[in-house]
Amino acid sequence: MPDLATVALFVVATLALLLVPGPAVLYIVTRSVTQGRSAGLVSVLGIHLGSLVHVAAAALGVSALLAASATAFTIVKYLGAAYLVYLGIRKLMARPGGDGVVEPPVASTSRLFWEGFVVNVLNPKTAIFFLAFLPQFADPAAGPIAPQIVLLGLIWTVLGMVSDGAYALLSSAMAGRLRRSARARRRLDLTSGFVYLGMGAFAALGGEGGAAKA
């Protein structure tokens, strides 16, 4: 297993990356703003279950196959992009409610959870990120590589849940007043719709070579 100095260096590097908002953070913020703190936190859990899938894939070498196959990368990339575009269009087509206090549309906890999971799992850049980042802190001399990658991936996931949870709490707190107005609610729908569309375009048009933060 990696020594304590390596783990400490990994934690510092991970925190530096997590502080820079990526597509997953945008998804969490959108959910938190439009439906509240609980929705944002449930989305965090779904997204990081998806992170565990990528960690397992990296440990088993599946991510290496994805990185080596342009066809596999393209298929997964466009599946993820299509799903994000679908979410964006659905938000843009949402009908505004009446005047007065308007509660955001309620989605079930399971739906919020699995949407977060799908958003992350269908992002091939996340797989490439784990493939490129985690092995840098694994040492063949310290034992088998796969358990080291799993350990590092679990640390990354825990830190990610903490940082993304903070984004969910902060964004939901700031959005409380906005959700009271039907006009503001419509603006939030439009904003979140364009965020989803932007995420879909980013996933579809992004380069196939480099790693990107989830």
Domain boundaries, the chain: 23-205
User: Of 108-112, 141-145, 162-166, which gets the smallest average pLDDT?
Assistant: 141-145
The pLDDT > 90 percentage for the chain reads 17
> Which residues, other chains included, contact 41 with Cβ-Cβ below 8 Å and sequence gap of 6+?
165, 168, 169
| Integer-rounded Cα radius of gyration of the chain | 18
Q: Nearest to residue 120, comparing CAs of 38, 202, 23, 35? A: 23
User: Of 95-104, 112-121, 124-133, 178-187, which gets the smallest average pLDDT?
Assistant: 95-104
> What is the number of other CB atoms lying within 10 angstroms of the CB of residue 99?
9
**Tens digit of pLDDT for each residue in 59-104?**
887 566 666 776 766 676 677 678 778 877 877 787 655 444 344 4
| CB contact at 8 A, 25 and 44 | no
∠ Cα 70 212 164 (to 5°): 135
**Tens digit of pLDDT for each residue in 111-122?**
889 988 988 888
Which tokens hold the place of 129? Answer: 């990120």
Please tell me the predicted confidence (pLDDT) of residue 42: 94
* Over residues 27-42, mean pLDDT: 85
Residue with the larger pLDDT of the pair 207 and 163: 163
At 212, the pLDDT band (50, 70, 90 cuts) reads very low
